[in-house]
Amino acid sequence: MTTTAPRGTGAVTPGNGNGGHPPRRATIAARTLRTDRWWLQPLLTVVALVAFIVYSTVRAFQNAYYFSEPYISPFYSPCITTACEGDTFPEWFTGPAWISPAIYILVVPLGFRLTCYYYRKAYYRSFWLSPPACAVAEPHRRYTGETRFPLIAQNVHRYFFYLGLLFNVVLTYDAVLAFRDETGAWGHMGLGTLVLLANAALLWLYSLSCHSCRHIVGGRLNSFSRHPLRYRFWTVVSRLNTRHMQFAWISLAGVAFADLYVLLLATGTISDLRFF
């Protein structure tokens, strides 16, 4: 409820809609008055992200079992070291054989996801407890936002978005190559082909539903009627944007599963299911 100043005083009081300072948050003795299990979602986020970080780190330093003709793990594509299996970049573009190509490659998707608007919300709440949940007291004395180091680096998100699109093109190309057999002849399709196709599609959905993509497509326009094509793209991206959280998690699981599937094939643990 708003408050008003005595008539004739001309005073501006908080919450009266005249430009005064907003009222401060209510001070309560308890950490929270919530009775539900508000801590469950932050806990699940921590478990999921830590599990992915551990798995991807182990796979990056393993530097093996990432290629099984005609499939290559998304962690190792494009393969940019001289010891790569399968298709490689020109020698002048490749790095030393003793460095895992995944260490180079994971920098871009990791930077893209760390600076992603949704993932910021997820790990701010889950790892930094800032805040851990709605209506739960924040343990930090003050909040400076993303105006100081290191959080000011979040502003590079759109540049990671551009680089991420290039990686999506590479992974789509890998999915197309997965229609070849061991001899290089076209006309093959196995379960691995579908896994790589699904991974590429999910990454495209995650990228195109990004908040930065929505702004790039339709931002800084004073009149949509003068830019009908951009408006059409903006409406499509806006629909995708409503599912950005779901695409973020599904694509994260998808890229890990695609790598795991290639790992199991490369180690001989399973055989690829061939359709034709």
pLDDT tens by residue, the chain, 276 residues: 444 444 444 444 445 555 555 555 556 566 777 788 888 999 999 999 999 999 999 999 999 999 999 999 999 998 887 677 766 555 556 667 778 889 888 899 999 999 999 999 899 889 988 878 887 877 777 777 777 777 788 889 999 999 999 999 999 999 999 999 877 789 889 999 999 999 999 999 999 999 999 999 988 778 888 888 989 999 999 999 999 999 999 999 999 999 999 999 999 999 999 998
Q: Cis peptide leading into 70, omega within 30 of 0?
A: yes
Give pLDDT, residue 8: 43
Question: 98 in a domain, yes or no?
Answer: yes
The tally of domains found in the chain comes to: 1
Structural domain contains residue 27 = no
Q: Give a yes or no: residue 25 inside a domain.
A: no
Q: pTM higher than 0.95 for the full model?
A: no
Residue 22 belongs to a domain: no
Containing domain of residue 49, as a range?
40-266
Could you say which DSSP state residue 248 is in? H
Please indicate, yes or no, if residue 6 is contained in any of the structural domains.
Answer: no
Q: Would 12 be classed as within a structural domain?
A: no
**Residue 16 placed within a domain:** no
Contact 102, 132 (CB under 8 A): no
pLDDT of residue 6: 44
Q: For the chain, first and last CA: distance in Å?
A: 69
Q: How many CA atoms lie within 13 A of 41 on its CB side?
A: 12
Q: In terms of DSSP H, where are the helices of the chain? A: 40-62, 101-105, 107-114, 117-126, 157-177, 191-208, 211-218, 228-241, 244-266
Nearest alpha-carbon partner for 272 in 77, 93, 111, 71: 71
The amino acid at 31: R
Inside any domain, residue 240: yes
